[in-house]
Amino acid sequence: MPSLDSKNLNNSVVDVQSFAMNFGRKEVIKDLSFNVKRGEIFGFLGANGAGKTTTIRTLLGLYEPTRGTLLVNGERYNPNMSANIGYLPEERGLYRNEPVINTMVYFAVLHGLSESEAQKRAIAYLKRVGLADKANERLVKLSGGQQQKIQLGVTILHEPSLMILDEPTEALDPVNRALLMDIINERQAKGATVMLVTHRMDEVEQLCDRILLLKDGSVALYGKIDEVKEQFGSQIIALNYSGKLPVNDKLYKVTKRLPHHAELVWSGNINTDEVLHFLANQHDLHITTFEVRRPSLNDIFLELYKDQEGKNV
Amino acid sequence: MSKLGNVIGFEVRRNLKKKTFWYTSLFLPVIIIAVFAITHASSNHASSSSQQQTSSYSKTAKLGVLDETGLVNKQVLLRDHIVIEPNEQAGIDGVKDRKLTAFFYYPKNVTQVGIQVFAQDQGIAFTPPYNALASQLLSQSAVATVSSATHDSEAVQILQKSPSVTATTYKNGVETNGLAGIVAPIIFYVIFSFFVVMLSYFMISATTEEKENRAAEILLTTIKSRSLIIGKILSIFVLGFVQIVIIIVPLLIGYALFHNHISLPGGVSLSHIPLDAKAIAIGASVLLLGLVMFTGILVGFGSLFPSAQEASRYLGIVILSAFIPLYAIGYVVSSPHALIVTVFTYFPLTAPSTVLLRNAVGTLSTGDALGVLAMLLVTATLSILFAVRAFNYGAMAYNRRISIKELFR
3-state SS string for chain B: CCHHHHHHHHHHHHHHCCHHHHHHHHHHHHHHHHHHHHHHHHHHHHHHHHHHHHHHHHHHCCEEEEECCCCCCHHHHHHCCCEECCCHHHHHHHHHCCCCCEEEEECCCHHHHCCEEEECCCCCCCCCCHHHHHHHHHHHHHHHHHHHHHCCHHHHHHHHCCCCCCCCEEECCEEECCCHHHHHHHHHHHHHHHHHHHHHHHHHCCCHHHHHCCCHHHHHCCCCHHHHHHHHHHHHHHHHHHHHHHHHHHHHHHHHHHCCCCEEHHHEECCCCCCCHHHHHHHHHHHHHHHHHHHHHHHHHHHCCCCHHHHHCCHHHHHHHHHHHHHHHHHHHHCCCCHHHHHHHHCCCCHHHHHHHHHHHCCCCHHHHHHHHHHHHHHHHHHHHHHHHHHHHHCCCCCCCCCHHHHCC
- Looking at the fold, whether B216 and B333 belong to one and the same domain comes out as yes
Greater confidence (B105 vs A170) lies with B105
pLDDT band at residue A37 using 50, 70 and 90 as cut-offs:
very high
Inform me whether the pLDDT recorded for A7 exceeds 50: no
Chain B environment of A154 (Cβ under 8 Å): 218
Residue type present at position B258? F
For chain B, the first-to-last Cα distance in angstroms comes to: 37
- Mean per-residue pLDDT, A250-270: 83
Inform me whether the pLDDT recorded for B56 exceeds 80: no
B218/A94 Cβ within 8 A:
yes
Closest CB from A98, A111, A115 relative to B14: A98
- Looking at the fold, whether B142 and B237 belong to one and the same domain comes out as no
- Mean per-residue pLDDT, B315-327: 83
* Alpha-carbon Rg for chain A in angstroms: 23
Chain A environment of B217 (Cβ under 8 Å): 57, 62, 87, 89, 91, 93
A109/B1 Cβ within 8 A:
yes
Closest CB from B3, B7, B215 relative to A93: B215
pLDDT band at residue B139 using 50, 70 and 90 as cut-offs:
confident
CB A31 within 8 A of CB A216: no
Taking the C-alpha atoms of residue B209 and residue B356, their distance in angstroms, rounded to an integer, is: 33
Inform me whether the pLDDT recorded for B43 exceeds 50: yes
pLDDT band at residue B195 using 50, 70 and 90 as cut-offs:
confident
Q: Containing domain of residue B142, as a range?
A: 58-160
* A60 touches B: beta carbon within 8 Å: yes
Taking the C-alpha atoms of residue B352 and residue B344, their distance in angstroms, rounded to an integer, is: 9
- Mean per-residue pLDDT, B154-180: 73
Closest CB from A82, A110, A154 relative to B6: A110
Residue B172 is predicted with a pLDDT of 74
- Mean per-residue pLDDT, B241-257: 81
Going from the C-alpha of B350 to that of each of B260, B293, B319, B323, B328, the distances in angstroms are 36, 11, 10, 7, 11
* A112 touches B: beta carbon within 8 Å: no
Greater confidence (B77 vs A119) lies with A119
A91/B396 Cβ within 8 A:
yes
Residue B55 is predicted with a pLDDT of 65
Inform me whether the pLDDT recorded for B245 exceeds 50: yes
Taking the C-alpha atoms of residue A83 and residue B221, their distance in angstroms, rounded to an integer, is: 10
Residue B189 is predicted with a pLDDT of 92
Residues whose CB falls within 8 Å of the CB of residue B228, separated by 6 or more in sequence, listed in order? B7, B219, B220, B391
Greater confidence (A163 vs B75) lies with A163
- Looking at the fold, whether B207 and B291 belong to one and the same domain comes out as yes
Inform me whether the pLDDT recorded for A113 exceeds 90: yes
Taking the C-alpha atoms of residue A102 and residue A99, their distance in angstroms, rounded to an integer, is: 5
* Beta carbons within 10 angstroms of residue B354's beta carbon: 30
- Domain contains B235: yes
Closest CB from B13, B14, B221 relative to A87: B221
Residue B253 is predicted with a pLDDT of 80
Into how many domains does chain B fold? 2
- Looking at the fold, whether B395 and B289 belong to one and the same domain comes out as yes
Taking the C-alpha atoms of residue B409 and residue B396, their distance in angstroms, rounded to an integer, is: 17
CB B201 within 8 A of CB B312: yes
- Looking at the fold, whether B99 and B236 belong to one and the same domain comes out as no
Tens-digit pLDDT profile for residues A199-219: 888 888 888 889 999 988 888
Half-sphere exposure of B155 (CA within 13 A, CB side): 11
CA dihedral A153, A155, A156, A157 (to 10 degrees): 60
Give the three-class secondary structure for A53: helix
CB A214 within 8 A of CB A221: no
Å from A89 to nearest chain B CA? 7
CB B232 within 8 A of CB B7: yes
pLDDT band at residue A5 using 50, 70 and 90 as cut-offs:
very low
Residue A18 is predicted with a pLDDT of 93
* B168 touches A: beta carbon within 8 Å: no
- The CA-based angle B238-B241-B243, given to 5 degrees, is 115
Closest CB from B13, B222, B396 relative to A110: B222
- Domain contains B31: no
Q: Whole-number mean pLDDT of chain B?
A: 82
Top-ranked range on mean pLDDT: pick from A113-127, A270-284, A295-309, B191-205: A113-127
CB A124 within 8 A of CB A108: no
Beta-bridge partner residues of B65: B84, B104
Among A69-78, B105-114, B172-181, B239-248, the range scoring the smallest mean pLDDT is B172-181
Interface probe for A, chosen from B11, B211, B217, B229 (most Cβ of A below 10 Å), is: B217
Half-sphere exposure of B372 (CA within 13 A, CB side): 32
- Looking at the fold, whether B106 and B136 belong to one and the same domain comes out as yes
Top-ranked range on mean pLDDT: pick from A122-126, A152-156, B301-305, B400-404: A122-126
Residue B178 is predicted with a pLDDT of 67
B223: nearest CA partner in chain A? A79
- Looking at the fold, whether B297 and B399 belong to one and the same domain comes out as yes
Residue A310 is predicted with a pLDDT of 47
CB B395 within 8 A of CB B212: no
- Mean per-residue pLDDT, A234-252: 87
- Looking at the fold, whether B232 and B117 belong to one and the same domain comes out as no
Top-ranked range on mean pLDDT: pick from A125-134, A182-191, A233-242, B44-53: A125-134
- Domain contains B172: no
Top-ranked range on mean pLDDT: pick from A59-68, A175-184, B119-128, B269-278: A59-68
* A109 touches B: beta carbon within 8 Å: yes
pLDDT above 90 coverage of chain A, percent: 41
ipTM above 0.90, yes or no: no
DSSP notation for A147-176: HHHHHHHHHHTT--SEEEEESTTTT--HHH
Greater confidence (B61 vs A34) lies with A34
Look at residues A143, A167, A4, A193 and name the one whose alpha carbon lies nearest to residue A88. Answer: A167
Greater confidence (B13 vs B126) lies with B13
Tens-digit pLDDT profile for residues B84-137: 888 999 999 998 998 888 899 999 888 888 899 898 887 665 556 778 888 888
pLDDT band at residue B51 using 50, 70 and 90 as cut-offs:
low
pLDDT band at residue B262 using 50, 70 and 90 as cut-offs:
low
- Mean per-residue pLDDT, B171-182: 73
Inform me whether the pLDDT recorded for A233 exceeds 70: no
Going from the C-alpha of B126 to that of each of B16, B41, B44, B94, the distances in angstroms are 51, 19, 17, 21
A57/B396 Cβ within 8 A:
yes
pLDDT band at residue A1 using 50, 70 and 90 as cut-offs:
very low
Domain A6-229 indexed as CATH 3.40.50.10420: no
Closest CB from A78, A87, A109 relative to B218: A87
Taking the C-alpha atoms of residue B94 and residue B99, their distance in angstroms, rounded to an integer, is: 5
* A102 touches B: beta carbon within 8 Å: yes
Tens-digit pLDDT profile for residues B356-372: 999 988 888 899 999 99
pLDDT band at residue A313 using 50, 70 and 90 as cut-offs:
very low
* B214 touches A: beta carbon within 8 Å: yes
What global pTM score does this model have? 0.73
Taking the C-alpha atoms of residue B117 and residue B173, their distance in angstroms, rounded to an integer, is: 51
Question: SS3 sequence, A175-241?
Answer: HHHHHHHHHHHHHHHCCCEEEEECCCHHHHHHHCCEEEEEECCEEEEEEEHHHHHHHHCCCEEEEEE
> Exposed, middle or buried: residue A303 (CB in 10 Å: 0-12, 13-18, 19+)?
middle
- Domain contains B3: no
Q: Pairing relation of β-strands A285-293 and A236-243?
A: antiparallel
CB B164 within 8 A of CB B177: no
- Domain contains B41: no
For chain A, the first-to-last Cα distance in angstroms comes to: 23
- Domain contains B295: yes
Inform me whether the pLDDT recorded for B210 exceeds 80: yes
Q: Enumerate the domain spans of chain A.
A: 6-229, 234-293
CB B332 within 8 A of CB B354: yes
pLDDT band at residue B267 using 50, 70 and 90 as cut-offs:
low
- Domain contains B208: yes
Residue B49 is predicted with a pLDDT of 67
Residue A57 is predicted with a pLDDT of 93
- Domain contains B376: yes
* Beta carbons within 10 angstroms of residue A134's beta carbon: 20
- Looking at the fold, whether B134 and B186 belong to one and the same domain comes out as no
Among A5-14, B59-68, B350-359, the range scoring the smallest mean pLDDT is A5-14
Greater confidence (B90 vs B399) lies with B90
- The CA-based angle B11-B12-B14, given to 5 degrees, is 65
- Looking at the fold, whether B226 and B316 belong to one and the same domain comes out as yes
Taking the C-alpha atoms of residue A51 and residue A215, their distance in angstroms, rounded to an integer, is: 8
- Looking at the fold, whether B116 and B224 belong to one and the same domain comes out as no
Residue A312 is predicted with a pLDDT of 43
CATH of the domain at B109: 3.40.190
Residue A133 is predicted with a pLDDT of 94
Inform me whether the pLDDT recorded for A309 exceeds 80: no
Q: How many pairs of residues across A and B have Cβ atoms under 8 Å apart?
A: 67
Interface probe for B, chosen from A54, A101, A107 (most Cβ of B below 10 Å), is: A107
- Rounded to 10°, the helix B366-394/B351-361 angle is 150
CB A154 within 8 A of CB A147: no
Greater confidence (A20 vs A91) lies with A20
pLDDT band at residue B50 using 50, 70 and 90 as cut-offs:
low
Residue A2 is predicted with a pLDDT of 40
A82/B224 Cβ within 8 A:
no
Q: Where are the alpha helices (DSSP H) in A77-114?
A: 100-110
Residue B344 is predicted with a pLDDT of 92
- Mean per-residue pLDDT, B174-203: 82
Inform me whether the pLDDT recorded for A9 exceeds 50: no
Greater confidence (B267 vs B109) lies with B109
B212: nearest CA partner in chain A? A93
- The CA-based angle B41-B46-B48, given to 5 degrees, is 95
